[in-house]
Amino acid sequence: MAVLFDAFSYRVNKTPDGFYYDRWHGHVFPEISMPEKLYFLDRIISALLTHNKLFIRTDSIEEMIECIGFDAFRMLYNRGELGILDNWWSPAFMYGGDTVFFMNMHEKQYQDKICSRLLERKGAEESRFTNTILKNVCNTSDSDTYDFWDNTSQENMYEDFSFNDRIRALLNIQSETITSISNEDDTWSAVRLCLFERSIEWSKQLKTDEILLEDEAKRYLLYKSDIQADSIIQYFKQVLYAKGIPNLSILYYNDVISMKDIIRIRDKVAFGKFTSWLKSHNYSVRELELALLNGRSSNSMIEKWLR
């Protein structure tokens, strides 16, 4: 079982000129506030406790390190539980007379910028280790495939932005087509829609069991895909809350638990049986509730794993 952790992608910023860009506009690290960090930690930990592997893009490396810490990041990568894919993509707009044109920008040779920022913000060890990762995953034959997936996502966005009446209504799109954007708000819609389409396309191509994106994205695109309305990760967190278990992100942030504790759970035989059970029950939230909340599932290993 795998999950595409794409939540960082939705931290889109607005430029001084009034247009919306990728969070890395200006090649500056997009600082994460404490509430944001707790939000992402909650989702990362829940994903680790329900899935065997997390996929992230290279443009999420620095944010992942910022949230879980470098030692935890290195541990997950070395164990093969964190997959990193070569992709750096920035939505952009260009003036053309009285209209604004959307562009899909794939940045090349971004590796040195990542390592330079990590050296300045974290230290030499973090920079060297990340450089090793980037040498392994970047500029391979897979990289061209990822660019193709992005281009497919962009084409889907073009079609939805211009011709999908339901999407246009949901996003309140006023411009006639993507090639003739007539107002600033529609630039925001184009960026968000492209991010949504990319998450869907990448998850489909990677054959992941879930995507971690923003809730708004699921509301917009759920009807277009075979992604289930009930997220096993979200439901898992609700059950933990119902059991009275403290918020794991708070415990992690305050060093009460560590990534080693989470990995010890993952290394137990019961964890493998738990994830296999989840998949075999086709992500049935009712079965999960019986197993975790009421303890009446036919598989006693689930209850043992949670204890």
pLDDT in tens, 232-284: 566 555 555 554 556 778 888 988 888 988 888 777 756 666 666 566 655 55
| H/E stretch holding 2 | strand 2-5
Query: Would you give the DSSP letter of residue 27?
Result: S
| H/E stretch holding 245 | none
> What's the predicted TM-score (pTM) here?
0.83
pLDDT in tens, 137-185: 998 889 999 999 998 988 888 888 998 888 888 888 999 888 888 888 8
Q: List the structure tokens of 184.
A: 């600033």
pLDDT in tens, 77-107: 999 999 999 999 877 777 666 777 777 677 8
Angle between helices 70-78 and 124-137 (to 10 degrees): 30
Q: Please give the single-letter amino acid code of residue 56.
A: I
Hey, which residues does 258 pair with through a beta bridge? none
Q: How far is CA 178 from the centre of its chain?
A: 25
Angle between helices 259-267 and 70-78 (to 10 degrees): 20
Number of H helices and E strands in the chain, helices first, is 15, 8
Number of neighbouring beta carbons within 10 Å of residue 81 = 17
Distance CA 202, CA 211 (A): 9
